[in-house]
A and B are shown apart, each in its own frame.
Chain A
Amino acid sequence: MGAALFVIRRIRPEEWPAYRDIRLAALRDSPDSFGSTYEAEVARPDELWSSRVLAASTSGMDLALLAEEDGAACGLAWCKISSSEPGLADVFQMWVAPGSRGRGVGRALLGEIAAWARGAGVRTLRLGVTVADSPAMRLYRSFGFRPEGPTEPLREGSTLMAQTLVLALAFSS
C-alpha cells in the first residue's frame, strides 16, 4: 500500500484546461528549460489552447501525453512528426512536476513517445535541451539521445545555450 501510481496517457480534447494549467506550471517552474515563456503563453486565449489540443487529437501527427500521479496531472510531453520530413519527430514541452521527479516518469514519457513514433514510421526523435548538467540532460543522454549540431541561444538575447539532441529509433524487425 501507499505506492505512488502513475498513469501515462493521451490528453483528451476536452481536457485542454488541464493541459494549459500544467504547461503554464512547467513554464513557471522551469523558465530556463523552454524556448517559450510563461509571460508569452499565459496571454494566449482559451481558443488557442483548446484548438491546439483538439488538433493534436485528430492530426495523426501528434502525441500529446499527460502523466498523472494518483489522478493529478504531474507531467507533460508532446511529440510531433515533421510535416516536411515524416521520418523525423520533435519532442517538446517535456516536464515533470518537482514532487514527482526521480521516479521514472520522464523516462516513461520518453518510452511512450518512442513506441508511438516507431509505430508511426519515425526513424529519428529530436529535441532541444538547455546545456547544463541537469536531470533532463542526464535522462536524455541515458535514453540514448546524442548531441547534433552547434549550440544556440535558448531564445533571443538569452545567455543560456540550447543543444539539439537526436535519437535513432531501433526497429525490432
Chain B
Amino acid sequence: MTLLIRKIQRPDAPAFRACLDSVARERKYLAQVEALPLERVEAFVSQSVENDAAQFVALEGGELVGWCDVFPHWAYALQHAGSLGMGVREDFRGRGIGERLLRATLDDALRKGIYRVTLEARADNLRAIRLYERVGFIHEGVARAGLRFDGRFHDAVRMALLQGPASTA
C-alpha cells in the first residue's frame, strides 16, 4: 500500500468530492453535511490549481482519502491571513496522514505569503485539536454555539498559527 500526498490537480475533482462528502456525512466535523455538486467542486478545484493555491490531497491508488487547504483572504490588510480546512476519511485516520497533509500545506501557505493561519474545530473533536496543537496552533478563543447539527449546538474552538515574519510579531 502506498499513500501519496501532493498538490491537488484538476482530475482529482470527483475523488475530492467523494472524500469531502464522506467526511461531511458524518455530521460531526465539517460545517457542511454533504459535498457541493460536482460542477461546483470542479470549478473550485480549477480555481485552486490556477492560483497554485495551498491545497494538498492524500491518495491511495485512485482514491482520495484526505485533503488540506489554506486559502488567503482577499482584503488588503488580511492577505497575510488564511483559513484552514481539512479532513481525512474515517477509515484512514490514525496513520499520520493528517499531520503530513497539514505540514505540507502550511509550508506551501508560507511560500505564498500566508503568515497567519486560522481554523475552527468542534470543541469535542479532540483528535483534531491535539494535531493542531502539535503543529503549533494556539487557542485564541471559543465560538460559543458556533456549530449546529440536527438542532444541537456545539462550541467551536478558534485556533491560529503564526509563521514566517508573523511568528515574531
Contacts and interface: CB of A to CB of B under 8 A. Distances in A.
B10 A5 contact: no
A151 interface: no
Interface in A1-29: 1-10, 12
Interface in B106-159: 107-108, 110-111
Query: Which secondary structure dominates chain A's binding surface?
Result: mixed
Interface of A: 1-10, 12, 57, 71, 103-104, 108, 111-112, 115-116, 119, 172
A1 B2 contact: no
Contact of A5 (B52, B100, B111): B100
A3 B3 contact: yes
Interface string B23-60: 00000000000000000000000000110100000001
Contact of A10 (B2, B100, B108): B108
Contacts of B7: 8, 112, 115
Given A5-B97, A119-B52, A104 B108 contact: no
Interface of B: 1-7, 9-10, 49-50, 52, 60, 95-97, 100, 104, 107-108, 110-111
B60 A3 contact: yes
Contact of A12 (B6, B10, B52, B111): B111
A104 B111 contact: no
B3 A6 contact: yes
Nearest to A102: B2
A104 B110 CA distance: 28
A112 B2 contact: no
A7 B106 CA distance: 13
A5 B108 contact: no
Contacts of A6: 2-5
8 contacts: A5-B5, A5-B96, A6-B4, A7-B100, A8-B6, A8-B7, A9-B5, A104-B4
Given A9-B108, A57-B111, A119-B50, A4 B3 contact: yes
Contact of A9 (B3, B49, B50, B107): B107
Given A12-B111, A172-B10, A7 B104 contact: yes
Contacts of B60: 3
Interface-centre pick from B2, B9, B97, B107 (highest chain A CB count, 10 A): B2
Contacts of A108: 4, 6
A9 B104 contact: yes
A103 B104 contact: no
A7 B9 contact: no
